[in-house]
């Protein structure tokens, strides 16, 4: 077992092969599927929408300061969370097909957001964060490659996340360049591609 520190602050709840393990910011890598259970997203409050839109902007210069698990949970819910009992999402999708995936690139690997479980599921163990510069967190948005709606869904995601960032003072930049960096590391479902990478961190 090779211990390493997850690049997110606070303690984690990791569920591996049915067992729940409580840690304090570190855990051991194992080849078996790992899940990180996130705190419940805070789905009310924050800056008023018009204030957030006024502040939305690209910030390229961010520090390495960690992003809390609560902010991570809120960011992921903004991008692709379930916001109604019928399972529909914070972003609209064509015919409600929900053909999109959000991945999280961290030093400790690549994780897929499981919205229903409010959890991250590890899909690769490669150091993914270092491929995208100094930002402590990069989200990757995947959609159908063969469908116009694929890119539209991703646009809704990065706008929601950009507004969340504006509301809480996080910096962020969306990029299409470099989006293929993890293509071989992630076992993307057939017919999907990464449209956008979205790096997030506290402004310097
Ligand atoms: C679809 C899309 C792709 C983008 N790709 C890149 C990119 O590859 N590299 C980059 O530095 N910025 C990229 N950007 C960020 C834009 O350069 C930025 O949004 C633009 O300069 C306007 O600045 P603002 O977001 O502060 O309004 C992209 C933005 C969008 C919407």
State the DSSP code for 168. H
Tokens of 58: 């690209």
pLDDT score of 12 more than 80: no
Domain region containing 95 = 39-201
- Does residue 34 form part of some domain? no
CATH for 118: 3.40.109.10
Side-chain-side CA neighbours of residue 122 (13 Å): 24
| Residue ID of nearest Cα to ligand 1 atom 27 | 57
pLDDT at position 32:
56
Of 12-16, 122-126, 151-155, 183-187, the least confident: 12-16
Residue scoring higher pLDDT (16 or 39): 39
Separation of CA 116 and ligand 1 centre (Å): 30
| Residue ID of nearest Cα to ligand 1 atom 11 | 175
pLDDT 10s digits, 65-82: 999 999 999 999 999 999
State the DSSP code for 183. T
Find out whether the beta carbon of 177 lies less than 6 Å from any atom of ligand 1.
yes
- Does residue 30 form part of some domain? no
| Residue to substitute in 60, 151, 175, 194 for testing ligand 1 pocket (most ligand atoms within 8 angstroms of CB) | 175
pLDDT 10s digits, 107-144: 889 999 999 999 999 999 988 888 898 899 999 999 99
> Going edge to edge, which strands form the sheet with 100-106?
19-23, 12-16, 34-37, 119-124, 109-114, 100-106, 137-144, 192-201, 171-175
- Does residue 61 form part of some domain? yes
- Does residue 74 form part of some domain? yes
Ligand 1 atom nearest the C-alpha of 178 is 8
- Does residue 13 form part of some domain? no
pLDDT at position 67:
95
Mean pLDDT of the chain: 86
Tokens of 149: 């709606």
pLDDT at position 128:
87
- Does residue 32 form part of some domain? no
Beta-sheet strands, E only, within the chain? 2-5, 12-16, 19-23, 26-29, 34-37, 100-106, 109-114, 119-124, 137-144, 171-175, 192-201
| Residue to substitute in 55, 58, 140 for testing ligand 1 pocket (most ligand atoms within 8 angstroms of CB) | 58
Find out whether the beta carbon of 176 lies less than 6 Å from any atom of ligand 1.
yes
Number of domains in the chain: 1
pLDDT score of 4 more than 90: no
- Does residue 122 form part of some domain? yes
User: What integer is the mean pLDDT of 46-63?
Assistant: 96
pLDDT score of 95 more than 50: yes
Find out whether the beta carbon of 175 lies less than 6 Å from any atom of ligand 1.
yes
80 conformational bin, left if phi > 0, alpha if psi -120 to 50, beta if neither: alpha
Contact assessment for residue 140 and residue 102, using Cβ atoms and an 8 Å cutoff: yes
- Residues 6 or more apart from 57 whose CB is under 8 A from it? 166
User: What integer is the mean pLDDT of 33-38?
Assistant: 91
- Does residue 27 form part of some domain? no
- Quote the percentage of the chain above a pLDDT of 90: 75
């Amino acid at each position: 077992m090779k211990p390493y520190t997850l690049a997110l602050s606070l303690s984690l709840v990791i569920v591996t092969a049915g067992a729940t393990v409580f840690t304090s910011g570190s855990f051991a890598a194992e080849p078996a599927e790992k899940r990180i259970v996130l705190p419940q997203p805070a789905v009310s409050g924050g800056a008023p929408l018009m204030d957030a839109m006024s502040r939305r902007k690209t910030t390229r210069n961010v520090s390495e300061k960690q992003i809390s698990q609560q902010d991570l949970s809120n960011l992921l819910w903004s991008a692709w969370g379930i916001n109604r009992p019928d399972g529909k999402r914070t972003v609209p999708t064509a015919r409600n097909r929900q053909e999109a995936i959000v991945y999280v690139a961290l030093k400790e690997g690549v994780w897929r957001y499981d919205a229903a479980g409010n959890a991250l599921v590890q899909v690769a163990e490669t150091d993914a964060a270092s491929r995208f510069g100094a930002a402590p967190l990069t989200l990757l948005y995947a959609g159908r490659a063969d469908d116009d709606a694929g890119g539209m869904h991703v646009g809704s995601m990065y706008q929601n996340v950009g507004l969340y960032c504006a509301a809480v003072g996080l910096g962020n930049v969306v990029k299409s360049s470099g989006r293929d960096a993890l293509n071989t590391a992630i076992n993307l479902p057939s017919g999907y591609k990464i449209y956008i990478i979205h790096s997030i961190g506290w402004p310097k």
